[in-house]
Structure 1
Amino acid sequence: MASDQQNPDALRVHFGLELRRTRQRTKLSQNELAKALGCTPQWICQLEKADKTVSEQTALDLDTYFKTDGWDRDEGHFHRIYQTIRRAGRHRVLLPGFDAYLRHESRAIGIRSFAAQVVPGLLQTEGYARGLMMPGESVETLDARVAGRMERQATLTRQNPPMTIFVLDESVLYRPVGGPKVMVEQLDHLIGFESSLNVDVRVLPYGRVAPAGLEGGFILLNFEQEADLMYIEAAGVGQLIESKSTMFKAGVRFSLVMGEALSRTETFQLLSRTREEYA
């Protein structure tokens, strides 16, 4: 089973086998279990054969019915398997190299991000995140990516959150990801950080030339005891860089971009004006 921990298909098979084993141990037929849960026998059959996607509510209902260990705290047997399936699904849909970045991001004490194309993931609303997804992907894949991005934002509100600075190129504000309604919601979300003590949002305006920002976006992570890291993306692949000389140059580059950015007050005035243009 250990080798299948990152394979959601294998984990769904495991879920089905565990359901069948539990049902048979309690001497229930598929018809009897379906009646008790208010679903069809076909549904139970499909779950046991791993032909159906496992939902969180299904897992919770099974735990409640069978009174599995931890069911009353939403930590029952089937819910634990469901959570493993969900984590594996998100791992599968991550950009190559991004899973390694996430492990570091969650432990950082400082995050500096320059966004040259779109609002950074840590600041995205659900609607905006969905607007960035590639067309043609399955609903399950899209849901996994969006859910992972939303959960990732807990980094900003955890106990002892990192000090973060986000510099957005002004073009980010005028790229209508998801349409006007989504952009209004996204800009409202950014404006909501105006009084934040640990999240500083700035905009690099069109009118200021910052050569350091023309090479694309990047993220710098700072740690209490470990070496600092830089993360960049190119051609659909993410890369972590820990070279001290590269980190020093990147730090200088971020300082130059920050130096050309609007003040905090000017930034939120621009965000408010842009919001009105979409409303």
Structure 2
Amino acid sequence: MAGDQQDPDALRVHFGLELRRTRLLAKLSQNELAKALGCTPQWICQLERADKTVSEQTALDLDTYFKTDGWDQNEGHFHRIHQSIRRAGRHRVLRPGFQTYLRYESKAIGIRCFAAQIVPGLLQIEDYARGIMDRTEPADTLDARVASRMERQAIFTRDKPVMMTFVLDESTLRRPVGGPQVMVDQIEHLLRVSRSPYVQVLIMPFERITTEALAGDMILLSFDDEPDLVYVESGNIGYLIEDKDEVFMTGVYFNRTMGEALSQTESDELMRQAQETYL
């Protein structure tokens, strides 16, 4: 049963069974419930058979109609199941190894990141995030990935600020992900984030080359009372590195890369110049 609770399909079936049980206890037909909710009987039937994706609004409407426990605080029975479906769906679509990384990222007091190809997830706006995803995948999968990425950014508003340094290769500004307007908005977001006293967004210009930067993306996490960790990706798999020597050398590589990057003022200017090319 524990395994089922991590399976979004099993949870959708559970939602449908609970909807049917609640409807029958209320002595309602599918037609009567559909009329009350302003939808079609076919929609109710598909929800009960788990043939339809459960939207958050549908869950809230059902809680409100049936006055389930917690409905007045958006914590009703159907909304809780919907949240479980949503969480399980994100677990399914995340890159292997990344779920483990996220548990550490949420506890970090310091994050150092080098991005060689695209703007890193913590700095992406929603349209940019969608622009780098495979559009042949199901809409639910893409929505789950985007939602997961946006939720990670709550780290910027934590009560205890996280010190973050991002070094982005200039190519991240020049690659027109999502089209001109998306890039204008994305670069504007980078400029806004870089104004935080806790965040640096530095650019590595094309004319500066370091061996370390050519090695690819890297993320280093620092903690209050635990050793630093490194996260890297290879193909479709993500890896956390705990070996002290490797973590130390990755820190050295990052510092060298950061040393070759533009200053914050110079980086802001280059970002503005790149932004203008999309206007």
Q: Give the letter aligned to residue 36 of structure 1.
A: A
Q: Which residue is equivalent to 2:97?
A: 97
Provide the secondary structure at the position in 2 that maps to 1:2.
Answer: coil
Deviations 1:236-270 (A, max 9, x none): 11000010000100010010001001001000011
Q: Give the letter aligned to residue 16 of structure 2.
A: G
Q: Which residue is equivalent to 1:83?
A: 83
CA distance in 2, matches of 1:158, 1:72: 27
CA distance in 2, matches of 1:166, 1:129: 17
Say how many residue pairs are matched.
279
Shift of 1:30: 1.0
Q: Which residue is equivalent to 1:212?
A: 212
Identity across the alignment (%): 67
Could you tell me which runs of 5 or more consecutive residues in structure 2 were left unpaired when the two chains were aligned: none
Q: Give the letter aligned to residue 91 of structure 1.
A: H
Deviations 1:33-65 (A, max 9, x none): 111111111111110110110000000000001
Shift of 1:161: 2.7
Q: Give the letter aligned to residue 21 of structure 2.
A: R
Q: Which residue is equivalent to 1:119?
A: 119
CA distance in 1, matches of 2:181, 2:5: 39
Does residue 20 in structure 1 map to residue 4 in structure 2? no
Q: Which residue is equivalent to 1:34?
A: 34
Does residue 184 in structure 1 map to residue 184 in structure 2? yes
CA distance in 2, matches of 1:119, 1:247: 23
Q: Give the letter aligned to residue 180 of structure 1.
A: P
CA distance in 1, matches of 2:132, 2:192: 22
CA distance in 2, matches of 1:260, 1:227: 26
Deviations 1:101-121 (A, max 9, x none): 111101100000000110000
Deviations 1:99-148 (A, max 9, x none): 11111101100000000110000000111101100131111111111111
Q: Which residue is equivalent to 2:266?
A: 266
CA distance in 2, matches of 1:212, 1:45: 57
Q: Which residue is equivalent to 1:149?
A: 149
Q: Which residue is equivalent to 2:109?
A: 109
CA distance in 2, matches of 1:91, 1:135: 19
Shift of 1:181: 1.1
Deviations 1:189-216 (A, max 9, x none): 1011232011110001112221211100
Does residue 276 in structure 1 map to residue 276 in structure 2? yes
Q: Give the letter aligned to residue 107 of structure 2.
A: R
Q: Which residue is equivalent to 1:234?
A: 234
Q: Which residue is equivalent to 1:166?
A: 166
CA distance in 2, matches of 1:44, 1:195: 49
CA distance in 2, matches of 1:71, 1:135: 35
Q: Which residue is equivalent to 1:72?
A: 72
CA distance in 1, matches of 2:159, 2:4: 33
Q: Give the letter aligned to residue 142 of structure 2.
A: L
CA distance in 2, matches of 1:6, 1:240: 23
CA distance in 2, matches of 1:194, 1:153: 14
Q: CA RMSD in A?
A: 0.9
Could you tell me which runs of 5 or more consecutive residues in structure 1 were left unpaired when the two chains were aligned: none
Provide the secondary structure at the position in 2 that maps to 1:192.
Answer: helix
Provide the secondary structure at the position in 1 that maps to 2:238.
Answer: strand
Provide the secondary structure at the position in 2 that maps to 1:5.
Answer: helix
**TM-score of the aligned structures, taking structure 2 as reference length:** 0.98
